[in-house]
Amino acid sequence: MRLSQYFLPTLRQEPAEAEVVSHKLMLRAGMIRKLASGIYTYLPFGLRALRKVERIVREEMNRIGAQEVLLPLVQPAELWQETERWEKYGKELLRFKDRKEHDFCLGPTHEEVITDLVRKEVRSYRDLPLILYQIATKFRDEIRPRFGIMRAREFIMKDAYSFDADEKGLNRTYERVYEAYNRIFSRCGLRFRAVLADTGAIGGNESHEFMVLAETGEDTLAICEACGYAANVELAEVKTAYRYEEEPERPLEKVSTPAVRTVEEVAEFLGVSPARLVKTLLYVADGEVVAVLIRGDYELNEVKLKNLLGVDSLEMADAETVERVSGAPVGFAGPVGLKVRRLLADFSVRGLKNFVTGANEADAHYVNVNYGRDFPEPEFYDLREVVEGDPCPRCGRPLTLTRGIEVGHIFKLGTKYSAAMRATFLDREGKERPFVMGCYGIGVGRTVAAAIEQNHDQNGIIFPEEIAPFKAIVLTLGPESQLMETSENIYRRLSAEGVDTLWDDRDERPGVKFKDADLIGIPYQVIVGKKFLETGKVELKERATGQREELAPEEVVSRMRDQK
RNA sequence: CGGGGCGUAGCGCAGCCUGGCAGCGCACCUGCCUUGGGAGCAGGGGGUCGGCGGUUCAAAUCCGCCCGCCCCGACCA
């Protein structure tokens, strides 16, 4: 491709709208442009990177015997009603009516559609296992899209679905996909880690997320260096053994705490450590208010709470509900005299004596509170978020926390969808059974963004070779015909050898060409300039290391061909 | 959804408080010149100042409503 004719609008200045590096660089390198919040256009250069990732995904999915399909983006409500997700999926599901007033939605995921297809077409255990996948546009009406293509509303995803005759089969299939994912992300040049994960809105039994390690990641991972345990903090178990000193229960006392609400404020006001405080969190779970107690220096893990309660919706109580239940404005709720049906507490509260809570009264807290005496003993569970240094649930050594970008997620679904949708086959004995399913996603666009997040410097992107839009760029540093001819010759021969090559034949000064080449991150730069006029040598510069080598033009061609 | 911020040329911004010719840098076009890290000179084109309404002799500027975008939060108790 000749750069003079290529649609590559690079930006010298940083776009004001971008926050994270990958977003800034994708805009500056002319890969993407925003159309609306969370909705992006891929320009030719960005699309090339996307296609490279797609190619790797296809190769590795095909390798494990998966077959590609293309499912509709627009889906009828009826299917979603069968699995009750029409009600349960929430506002992320973008719904609308067609001209005949029939309900439809834009597919955020495709379990219903694929299960419908397979129940209609597959009858026998002999056709199993079956793995189908697609690479397609998805739409999720995210609360807050951000970071460019990293968390967009419309995005490209590879989703695969497996159908097995039994659990054992599913386990084998899951394992195969797991290995395929390892190969995919390795080939994309990413530093990543598979971690245990929550199943969220998709549902199912077991799940792993593939996390690209990056500070800007939206997820936090708990990792044990000692035994290799790795989990999303959303479900990382807390096995801390709390030891509290024996102390006599002191008399309950109400203290005035005017306008003092937060844990930090209360602790400072009363001159005690936050670990002496017990927060009372009020939640509305499927319409019913529950209260959760947790030590002041810890944070509640909503995913754990939601899974424990087994509810579909879980939200913090709004100010009105808090007032109604506790009789006090937000900030002063406490367990003493609280009118809720269920009172839960994190293990960190068990054994704690003489602690501080809100008094269910404006501007007041209780001190020397003790459960069993001042209020009924709550149900104790593991409900808090792990913190750095908590013991590994497997081996007990301290955990470390790190950030990650979720680029892949695999689930063992079991029969959740097949049972709900009566998708069955006949087994060897002629008995009707529901398919045992798995589902497996990869954020394709997000993988590109994550690769950039992990591979860049001050000058721009440094594409890993396998996903680079082009492998080489020829820079012609001057208008002399000898330079142009040599450049064109190299460009043609590289292209003929199947090396994706861009030729910067623009009438621009050298500085501009160097800056653009570094910005767009093509792995190899072939520099044809003054040096060639003097010595007959061109330079081969590696973008990642900055290493330069002087070579004759034909040597460049053979070098690039050999390491293809 | 709550809080904050922003919307002026393709991009980055000033002007708004204190109403009075719509500006700067980059990009773009023409010419000269230059060619190893985003050159220089000269000339030029490009704007419903996010939209609607109001106040005023006069509105980018003041007031109201609406729209869009970004950031933070939605674990504050």
pLDDT, mean of each 10-residue run, chain A (564 residues): 93 89 94 91 95 97 97 94 87 89 93 96 96 95 87 94 96 97 96 88 80 89 92 89 89 86 82 89 85 90 86 78 81 86 91 91 90 92 90 91 92 93 96 96 95 94 97 95 95 96 95 97 96 95 96 96 79
Residues 515-554 of A, Cβ under 7 A from nucleic strand B: 515-519, 527, 529-532, 539, 541, 548
Phi, psi of A51 (to 5 degrees): -65, -35
CA-to-C1' span, A415 to B2 (A): 40
pLDDT, position A341: 82
The DSSP result for A54-65, as a single string, is HHHHHHHHHHTT
Residues 3-42 of A, Cβ under 7 A from nucleic strand B: 10-17, 19, 28, 34, 36-38
| Alpha carbon distances (Å) from A469 to A79, A280, A513 | 39, 53, 17
Side by side, the strands of the sheet bearing A538-542 are A501-504, A472-476, A524-528, A538-542, A548-551
DSSP secondary structure code for residue A375 in this structure:
B
CA-to-C1' span, A200 to B2 (A): 25
Evaluate if the CB of A279 falls below 7 Å from strand B: yes
Evaluate if the CB of A510 falls below 7 Å from strand B: yes
The structural domains of chain A, with segments of one domain joined by +, span 3-237+401-452, 253-381, 470-562
Evaluate if the CB of A332 falls below 7 Å from strand B: yes
CA angle A289, A293, A296 (to 5 degrees): 135
CA-to-C1' span, A199 to B74 (A): 22
Q: What is the CATH number of domain A470-562?
A: 3.40.50.800
Evaluate if the CB of A458 falls below 7 Å from strand B: no
The nucleotides of chain B lying under 7 Å from a protein CB are 1, 11-13, 25-27, 34-39, 68-77
Considering only CA atoms, which residue is closest to the C1' of nucleotide B12?
A13
Shortest CA distance to A312 belongs to which of A528, A61, A89, A56? A89
Evaluate if the CB of A220 falls below 7 Å from strand B: no
CA-to-C1' span, A474 to B20 (A): 56
Give the fold, CATH level 3, of A3-237+401-452: BirA Bifunctional Protein; domain 2 (3.30.930)
Evaluate if the CB of A281 falls below 7 Å from strand B: yes
Evaluate if the CB of A141 falls below 7 Å from strand B: no
Shortest CA distance to A160 belongs to which of A60, A310, A307? A60
Shortest CA distance to A447 belongs to which of A59, A184, A198, A200? A184
Residue written as token pair 């296992």: A129
Q: Which nucleotide is closest to the Cα of A537 by its C1'?
A: B36
Evaluate if the CB of A85 falls below 7 Å from strand B: no
CB count, 10 Å around CB of A123? Answer: 12
> How far apart (Å, rounded) are the C-alpha atoms in residues A211 and A498?
33
Domain made up of A253-381: CATH architecture:
Alpha-Beta Complex (3.90)
Residues 354-383 of A, Cβ under 7 A from nucleic strand B: 357-358
> How far apart (Å, rounded) are the C-alpha atoms in residues A293 and A266?
16
pLDDT, position A245: 86
CA-to-C1' span, A534 to B1 (A): 67
Q: Which nucleotide is closest to the Cα of A506 by its C1'?
A: B35
pLDDT, position A202: 67
Give the gyration radius of chain A's Cα atoms. Answer: 29
